[in-house]
Amino acid sequence: MAELREDNEPYDDINITPMLDLAYVLLVIFIIMTTATVQGIQVNLPKASNTPSLAKPKTKAVTIDANGQVYLDTYPVTMNELETRLRGFKAITPDLPVVIKGDARIQYEKVIEVMDLCGRLDITQLGLVTQKLVK
């Protein structure tokens, strides 16, 4: 049975303001949680006294974790897959910048393999990511 107003007419209006408030709050929470989780692979970076800024929107990040697993941006790849994908990106962007983030505990040989691969692909804008040395 519908509620009656004072003038005995049925009350058929629905107040959607609280529902819209809830939708906006959920949207804001979703946006914050999505951007907070897209940060890449966590590695322990070596320390350096001066860290230049290499962040460009088209920069590709090659990450090597403590177990020696190689990632292109945040996706695990083999060395052959890395070469194929970097070759494709290099064809699209001739001045493709690549940064290498190697965990401080991995063997230096794995970083050299990635650097050699970039050299074979004629990637000249290459950087090594380090943490700023805290004094």
What residue has token string 């709050």? 25
64 or 44: whose pLDDT is higher?
A: 64
pTM attached to this predicted model: 0.57
Percent of the chain with pLDDT strictly greater than 70 = 77
CATH of 47-132, one of 3.40.50.970, 3.30.420.270, 1.20.120.450, 3.40.50.12780: 3.30.420.270
Domains in the chain: boundaries: 47-132
94 or 50: whose pLDDT is higher?
A: 94
d(CA 40, CA 56): 15
Q: Which parts of the chain are beta strand (E)? A: 47-48, 60-64, 70-72, 75-77, 97-102, 125-128, 131-132
**pLDDT reported for residue 37:** 57
**pLDDT reported for residue 11:** 65
Q: How confident is the model at residue 57 (pLDDT cuts 50, 70, 90)?
A: low
114 or 55: whose pLDDT is higher?
A: 114
**pLDDT reported for residue 5:** 58
Residue 64: pLDDT over 50: yes
**pLDDT reported for residue 39:** 58
73-91 pLDDT per residue, tens: 888 999 999 999 999 988 8
25-48 pLDDT per residue, tens: 999 888 877 766 555 667 777 776
- Report the run of H or E that residue 118 belongs to, with start and end: helix 108-120
Structure tokens at 89: 């990106």
Q: How confident is the model at residue 55 (pLDDT cuts 50, 70, 90)?
A: very low
* CA 23 to chain CA centroid, nearest Å: 27
